[in-house]
Amino acid sequence: MSHASRFRRALVTGGGGFLGSYVCEQLLSCGVEVVSVDNFSTGHRSYLEHLMGRPGFTLLEADVIQDFETPGPVDLVMHLASPASIPEFYRLPIETLLVGSHGTHNALRIAHRYGARFVLASTSEIYGDPLKHPQDEEYWGNVNPIGARSVYDEAKRYAEALTTAYGKQHGLSVGIARIFNSYGPRMRPDGRVISGFIAQALDGVPLLIHGDGNQTRSPCYVEDTARGLLAIAESDYQRPINIGNTQEITIHDLAQMVLDVTGSRSPLKFIEPDADDPRQRCPDISRAERELGWRPQVALEEGLRRTVAAARRPSADWN
């Protein structure tokens, strides 16, 4: 996405995260000034190194759970701050819930103060272990509110409710993106499946498959995901929109594809399943196609090749 944007200055919470760094990058490419806010509890400064010193980019180190101030007005707020992997949920359970509640409220208040468009990065996890397949935005989900993943699931469900209520009460223009399994260069092996498989394959160690491997996911290349988020921002559409790839694949076949792309001889090793692990995950993206004119452009195998190539570069930092 490189066309000129109607926005002049954007606040991106969680801009130091994996997806957040791509959102910052694409906004800058559209001529939008960016204020990136992150406390780096799960994000990484290295994600933003290529943007440091670039005209129009400002890094503000702050915790969105606490009150914080932007250095001047903004006309777009992209709220992406949140832990985003199972190990991070376990390490930061209360923080995960608070960033979805207090953090969302703080970001909404900034948007209201300046009359800015607000976009929430929600998740396909709000559908839980779905009883409907593929999942469209009218499906209410099947979620365990006190399970192993609940701090993330409920934080995002609450954030959606708060965003919707705030928009109605204050007349604020709000959008909600339900994101399905982003992956791509710069993603560390932090517990998410594709980065984990790639790191294991390149290290020549077994690829760890939780459960029987028949559960499905629909990975979406990160540049496509970021482009979808910006399309929501530009659209003024007020209801949730799925942003994901409809190319569904089992975890077993995904592991095999990683082996094929890397040329690795690593074996597959089956271990205990993750608690409350969804059996199927695939988006219905007809709303995104109709309302935004958006659909993913990068097929899974091509995206994996780009991600593996980046991971093999001497400059790649997996720590």
Q: Strand pairing partners for 84?
A: none
169, with CB counted inside 10 A (0-12, 13-18, 19+), is exposed
CB 165: neighbour CB atoms within 10 A?
Answer: 12
**Sequence-ordered alpha helix ranges (H) in the chain:** 18-29, 86-91, 93-98, 104-114, 150-170, 193-203, 222-235, 251-262, 286-292, 300-312
The C-alpha atoms of residue 209 and residue 62 are separated, in whole angstroms, by 36
Chain centre distance of CA 160: 15
Q: Strand pairing partners for 209?
A: 270
Token reading at 197: 């498989």
Report CA torsion sign: 224, 159, 58, 83: negative
* 102: Cβ contacts below 8 Å, ≥ 6 apart: 64, 65
The C-alpha atoms of residue 54 and residue 253 are separated, in whole angstroms, by 41
Token reading at 306: 């780009």
Active site residue 152: yes
Task: Return the residue matching tokens 């790639």.
Answer: 198
Measured in Å, how far apart are the chain's first and last C-alpha atoms?
Answer: 30
Which among 22, 47, 152, 166 is annotated as catalytic?
Answer: 152
Residue 300 per-residue DSSP state: H
**Residues designated as active site:** 152
